[in-house]
Amino acid sequence: MDKLNDTMKQLQNNLESQVEALEPAPFQPVDGEEWEWETVSFDGTQKDNTAWLALISEHIKSAKSFEIQCWEDEVEEMILAPQYGEIKPSNWKKGTIVEGIVTSDFIRMVLEMPKPKDRESYNKMTPFFDIAFDNGFSSQHYGTEVIIKKKR
Please report which confidence band the pLDDT of residue 9 belongs to, taking 50, 70 and 90 as the band edges.
confident
**Contact partners, residue 143, CB within 8 Å, separation at least 6:** 42, 49, 52, 56, 124, 125, 126, 128, 131
This prediction's pTM: 0.74
Q: How many Å apart are CA 146 and CA 82, to the nearest integer? A: 22
pLDDT of residue 23: 60
Look at residues 43, 47, 46, 49 and name the one whose alpha carbon lies nearest to residue 113.
49
Q: Is the confidence at residue 32, as pLDDT, over 70?
A: no
Please report which confidence band the pLDDT of residue 100 belongs to, taking 50, 70 and 90 as the band edges.
very high
Q: Is the confidence at residue 19, as pLDDT, over 60?
A: no
pLDDT of residue 42: 84
